[in-house]
């Protein structure tokens, strides 16, 4: 309906591609129109689904000056499952009016010096491992894939090609920006607030141990940088036995993977956490922001804990919509993952944004998770989704919805799904696509009290 806000999450596998239409929130001159947003366009693996999704998005956008008008393109963070689809050719017929990225994606940002060095080391180490042609587990293949050469094209498109083509400068957003600084010229019916990341990336998300982490990564990566692409065919050093050299390489490779995982955590924790306030409603989009047990001064901190410490005024109240973080991962929606009932900082945050109904009341908030069950035990985490399912209104009992053939087709069904499908959980893009084949899930938000 014309007065409803629309959130459309596309089924793109493990990735986010989310279209938002805010009704009558754009004003240019005397003309009032809907405001159109695309939050991320990425996935792991083949980009075919992204092209289908983006073509569908174009069908929702208004024509203006011979192109489709997109009022805001927001890229939450620099991972392929959020930016793989940033192919300039795909956006050739779209006029982008505003382009936002996390401040951590600004390579010239002075408060991300160590973070950027860590990222560059991770790229070098993982690409060197890829060149060696080793047989890796799916988990390790995934880590290597985050740093593939294809990511460079997406980053270049976002920083250079798309801004130049559209005559705009990208805005690298962070939590210190005031709503007035975040207000596009044409926005007239909503308020945008950024709750993360903080401007000082190195201090809050790497901590005072940043130099130590960089030194350790450099040591582990050094041997990989000089390793032959096919070590079995290459010459071995003469001052160490072949078996000892292989063991050293193996240890160094394990360390490199561990540091790359740490760098990946930092990238997730510098996701843009966008709060949209519209006609008495609050909608929270969090990218892949992660949580830890509690905030610690001068230590490596996580996005949710940092926002809770520094932006509690905005976070300590219910939201009407939550984009469930990191595809339903165990560590990207704050909760008591021990499930023992103890009040922890993460569980307190969850109670603040999605409180449990009391006195027989029914929940009113809504949520969506863009996900796909693969080989991960913790993505999506079924028990987390059940916990969220107690707190939102748009749930399904998928055991009652999926037929035998659809269930048989679920990856790792016996391990990670079977036990929990008979209880309500929020809408999932992977299951919903099995049910209707549309390729997206729509959530509508009615206006509240202004």
Q: What is the pLDDT of residues 354-380, one digit of tens each?
A: 999 998 899 999 999 999 988 778 899
Average pLDDT, the chain: 90
Which residues of the chain fall below pLDDT 70?
Answer: 1, 216, 219-252, 450
Judge whether 397 lies within some domain. Answer: yes
Judge whether 248 lies within some domain. Answer: no
CA–CA distance, 122 with 143 (Å, rounded to integer): 10
The CATH number of the domain where 296 resides is what?
3.60.15.10
Judge whether 236 lies within some domain. Answer: no
pLDDT of residue 67: 97
Continuous H helices in 26-112: 48-60, 80-83
DSSP string, 196-224: E--S-HIIIII-TTHHHHHHHHHHHHHHH
Judge whether 231 lies within some domain. Answer: no
pLDDT of residue 450: 62
Judge whether 233 lies within some domain. Answer: no
Domain holding 310, by residue range, is: 5-211+263-445
Judge whether 391 lies within some domain. Answer: yes
Residue partners of 375: CB distance under 8 A and separation at least 6: 138, 139, 411, 412
183, 27 contact by CB (below 8 A): no
Number of domains present in the structure of the chain: 1
Judge whether 222 lies within some domain. Answer: no
pLDDT of residue 229: 40
Q: Rg (Cα) of the chain, in Å, rounded?
A: 22
In which element (H, E) is residue 99 found? strand 99-102
73, 98 contact by CB (below 8 A): yes
Judge whether 170 lies within some domain. Answer: yes
**pTM assigned to the model:** 0.92
């Amino acid at each position: 309906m014309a007065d409803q806000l629309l959130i459309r999450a596309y089924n793109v596998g493990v990735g986010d591609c989310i279209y938002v239409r805010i009704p009558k929130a754009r004003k240019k001159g005397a003309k009032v129109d809907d405001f159109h947003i695309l939050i991320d366009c990425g996935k792991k693996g083949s980009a075919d689904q992204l092209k289908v999704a983006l073509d569908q998005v174009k069908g929702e956008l208004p024509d203006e000056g011979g192109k489709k008008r997109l009022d805001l393109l927001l890229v939450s963070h620099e991972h392929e499952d959020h930016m793989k689809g940033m192919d300039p050719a795909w956006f050739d017929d779209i006029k982008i009016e505003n382009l936002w990225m996390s401040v951590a994606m600004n390579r010239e940002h002075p408060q991300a010096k160590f973070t950027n060095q860590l990222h560059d080391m991770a790229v070098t180490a993982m690409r060197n491992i890829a060149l060696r042609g080793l047989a890796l587990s799916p988990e390790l293949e995934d880590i290597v894939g985050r740093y593939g050469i294809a990511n460079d094209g997406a980053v270049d498109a976002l920083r250079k090609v798309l801004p130049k083509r559209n005559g705009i400068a990208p805005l690298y957003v962070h939590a210190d920006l005031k709503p007035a600084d975040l207000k596009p010229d044409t926005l007239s019916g909503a308020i945008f607030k950024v709750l993360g990341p903080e401007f000082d990336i190195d201090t809050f998300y790497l901590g005072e141990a940043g130099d130590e982490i960089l030194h350790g990564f450099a040591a582990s990566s050094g041997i990989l940088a000089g390793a032959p692409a096919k070590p079995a065919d290459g010459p071995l050093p003469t001052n160490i036995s072949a078996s000892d050299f292989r063991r050293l390489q193996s240890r160094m490779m394990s360390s490199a993977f561990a540091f790359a995982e740490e760098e990946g955590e930092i990238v997730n924790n510098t996701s843009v956490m966008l709060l949209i306030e519209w006609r008495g409603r609050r909608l929270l989009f969090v990218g892949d922001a992660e949580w830890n047990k509690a905030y610690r001064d001068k230590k490596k901190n996580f996005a949710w804990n940092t926002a809770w410490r520094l932006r509690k005024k905005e976070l300590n109240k219910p939201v009407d919509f939550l984009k469930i973080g990191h595809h339903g991962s165990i560590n990207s929606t704050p909760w008591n993952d021990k499930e023992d009932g103890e009040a922890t900082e993460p569980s307190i945050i969850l109670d603040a944004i999605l409180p449990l109904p009391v006195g027989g009341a029914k929940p009113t908030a809504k949520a969506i998770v863009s996900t796909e069950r693969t080989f991960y035990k913790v993505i999506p985490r079924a028990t987390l989704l059940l916990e969220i399912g107690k707190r939102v209104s748009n749930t399904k009992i998928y055991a009652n919805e999926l037929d035998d053939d659809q269930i048989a087709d679920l990856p790792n069904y016996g391990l990670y799904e079977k036990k929990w499908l008979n209880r309500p959980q929020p809408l999932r893009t992977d299951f919903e696509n099995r049910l209707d084949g549309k390729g997206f899930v729509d959530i509508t938000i009615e206006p509240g009290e202004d």
